A and B are shown apart, each in its own frame.
Chain A
Amino acid sequence: MALKYNDFTLQELMAVAAARELKDGEKVIIGTGLPLLGAFLAQKTHAPNMVAIYESGAIDCKPLVTPFSVADSVLAPGSAMQGGLMEGLGIVHAGDLDVGFLGGAQIDRYGNLNTHVIGDYRNPQVRFAGSGGSNDIGAGCKRTIVMMLHQKQRFPEKVDFLTTPGYLRGGKEREKMGFLGGGPSVVVSTLGILRFHPQTKEMYLASYHPGVTIEQIKDNTGWDLIVAGDVKETERPDPELIRILREELDPTGVFLKKK
C-alpha cells in the first residue's frame, strides 16, 4: 500500500513544501489552491494548533470538506467566529497574524509582487485582478509565503507594477517604511525554493526540485540569481503526507490534477 504514495507530482511537492514553512500555533491567513492544501496538511500533521483564517472573516475554521473558494459555504459552520472582510482583514491590518500566503503574475529579485498588469498600467497588454487582499497581507502579516509559477517573464528584474511590496529595492528599504509585517520569507516556485538574504534582502536559490537543474532555474529567472553555497535538492515528501493530500484533503482532485 505504501508504495503507491512513493511517487509525487510537482503540485504535491509544493503543497508539502508550503506545509513545512508553518509552525504549530501560528495564525495563518489562507488562500485557495496549493496554499490551502499546504496549510491544512500542516494542521493535520505537525501544526494541529494552527489557527486557519480566511479574509472572508472565517476565523479558526474547521471545515468538514476542503473549501474550494476563500468564501466557500463550508467555512462558516464549525468556525470559532464568522464575520466579514473587516474581521478577516482587520486583524491582518492590525499585525495579529503570523503568516500569509501570496502569489502573483510577477515577482522580482527583492520579492515585490505584481497582480495588476503586464505592460503599461494605463494601457495594459494584460490586465489581472488587482490587489485584492494581497497588499494588505504583504503589509500586515509577520511573514509571507509566496507560491509562483517559475518562468522568466514571471521573475523579471523589475515588476511591471508594484502591487505588494516585498523588500522594495532591498537592504533596509522595507524596514524604513514602517510596516507591521516583515515581508516574504520564502518563495515556493514550480522549480525550486528561494529565500532572501538577511542583509541585502535579495532572493537566492535554496533548493531545486527533484529533476530540475540549477542551470534551468537560472535560465528561467530574469536576473543573475544567486545560488546558496549549500544548495541542495528539495526534500522529497514523506509518503504519508502524499496519502493525506490525496485521500483526505483532495479526494476528488479539485486542486491536485489526477495523474
Chain B
Amino acid sequence: MKVSKVMTAKEAVAKFIADGMTVGVGGFFHAISYAITHEIIRQQKRRLTICQPSFNEHADQMIGAGCVDRIVSSYVWMEVFGPLHCFRRAMEKGIPHKIEMEDYTNFAVMARYLAGSLGIPFIPIQSMKGSDMMKYSSWMGEGKAKLIRDPFDPKKEYVAVPALTPDLGYFHVQRADEEGNCQMWGIWGDSPWSMRACKQVIVSCEEIVGRDVIGRDPNRTILPGYKVIAVVPAPFGAHPKHTQGYYDVDRDFIFQYIRESRSPEGWKKFMDEWVYGVEDREGYLKKYINTYGMKKFLNLKAKDISSSSVNYGF
C-alpha cells in the first residue's frame, strides 16, 4: 500500500525547503506554482539559489522578499508586460541585498537540465559561443561554461555547460495522484527535463485524481511519482499565470503588480495584501473574489476545447 504524499503547501515548504538550498522552479510563463512560491516567501526562506530558464514575477517577489542570493537563468523579466523592479533594484542598487546571477541562454539552461536528468556531467552546445556570457561569470567562475574541442572532429569547438541538479524542484501541473504521478498539457515549459534533473520534487496541482485516471492516459504523465516527495492540492495555484484548460492568464493583475512594484513601498503594500496578508491559496482565492468580484474570476475560467481520446487497447 503506497503512502499518500498529499499535504498543504505550508507543510511541504516547511518540511522540504531549507535555507541555502538550490531550487529549480518549473514552468515557462504558463503553469508557475505561485502556491509554493508564496509559501516560500511567507516562511522567509533565505539564501536560496533559484534556477529556471526564464523567470517572471515569481522570482521578482522572492528577490524582493530577501529569499534569494543567487540566480541561474537566462531571463528575468515579464515580456511585453514590462520590467521586474525588485530584480532591477537588486542588480542595480543592491536592494534589499546584492544578488549574483549566472547568465545563460534559455536553451543553455535546458541543456544543463538535460545533462542533469540523464546523469551525465556536461553537455556541448552551440549557443553562447562568441558572446560576453562566456567572458563573465559569477560564483561559478570557470565552472560556468567552457569552450571545448570536439573529440571526434577537432576542427570544431563547442560550449560545454555543466549538468544542473538542484536539491529540490517545484512545479505546477493540471493533475496528480496521491503518489505524485503528474500529468500536464499545454505548454510544458522546462518540464520534464528540469524536474527530472532535481533530486526531489514538490508538485502543486489543480486537481488530485485517482491512480486509475493517470493509468488511462499514461502518455500525458510528465513526471513519475517516485521523483515526487509532496503533492499539494492548489486550485488556481498558478494565478496570475494560466493553466491550460483551467484558467487564463490574468493580464490586469500582472500589470498591477508591475505598476505597484515600481517603488519598494508599493511593492511592500502589494505583498502585504496578496502574500503576507493571506494564510494560504484558499485565502488568496477568497480575497481575489472579494476584491474583483465573481464575474471577473469566472471570466478567467478556460473555455472547453477538449481533445478526443485515444485507444490504449491491446
Contact = CB atoms under 8 A, between A and B. Distances in A.
Contacts, number: 158
A134 B105 contact: yes
Interface in A197-250: none
A127 B106 CA distance: 17
Interface string A82-112: 1111110110110000000000000000000
B28 A71 contact: yes
Interface string A54-76: 01111000000000111111011
Interface stretch (A16-24, A43-51, A148-156, A172-180): A172-180
B189 A56 contact: yes
Contacts of B131: 131, 135, 162-165
A221 to B, nearest CB: 22
8 tightest CB-CB pairs across the interface, nearest first? A84-B188, A129-B77, A71-B29, A132-B75, A127-B91, A136-B107, A89-B107, A135-B105
B161 interface: no
Interface range for A: 35 or more
19 contacts: A32-B79, A56-B28, A56-B29, A56-B30, A68-B80, A82-B185, A116-B103, A121-B132, A127-B87, A127-B92, A130-B103, A135-B74, A135-B105, A139-B127, A162-B131, A163-B131, A174-B130, A177-B130, A180-B126
Given A56-B29, A135-B127, A135-B128, A127 B88 contact: yes
A85 B189 contact: yes
A3 B77 CA distance: 41
Given A56-B189, A73-B302, A131-B74, A122 B136 contact: yes
A33 interface: yes
A73 B30 contact: yes
B189 to A, nearest CB: 5
Interface string A5-34: 000000000000000000000000000110
Contacts of B54: 132
